[in-house]
Amino acid sequence: MKALRLKLFQETACYKKPFASKVAETYPLPPYSTVKGMIHALLNADQFIPMRLSVQGTYEEKLLDYQRYYFFKKKELSSFPLVLDGLARMEFSYDKNEITTMPMYTHLLHNVHLLIHIEAEQHILKQIIHAIEYSMTHYSLGRWEDLVRIDEYKLVDVQELKEEKTLQWNAYIPSNLLDRETKSIPYQLNWKYEIVNGIRQWEKINVGYVQKEIEAPEGVWIDEDGELVFYHL
The CA distance from 13 to 140, in Å, is: 9
What number is the average pLDDT over the span 59-75?
85
The DSSP letter of residue 217 is: P
Q: For 195-210, what is each residue's pLDDT tens digit? A: 888 888 999 999 999 9
Q: Model's pTM, two decimal places?
A: 0.87
Determine the Cα–Cα distance for residues 111 and 60; give it in Å rounded to an integer.
6
Mean pLDDT of the chain: 90
Task: Count CB atoms within 10 A of the CB of residue 65.
Answer: 12
Residue 211 contacts by C-beta under 8 Å, 6 or more apart in sequence?
A: 167, 170, 183
Q: What is the pLDDT of residues 83-99, one digit of tens each?
A: 666 666 666 667 778 88
**Exposed/middle/buried for 142, CB within 10 Å: 0-12, 13-18, 19+?**
buried
Query: Cα dist. 50→114, 148, 157 in Å?
Result: 22, 23, 19
For residue 50, what is the DSSP state? -
Give pLDDT, residue 44: 93
For residue 26, give the amino acid letter. T
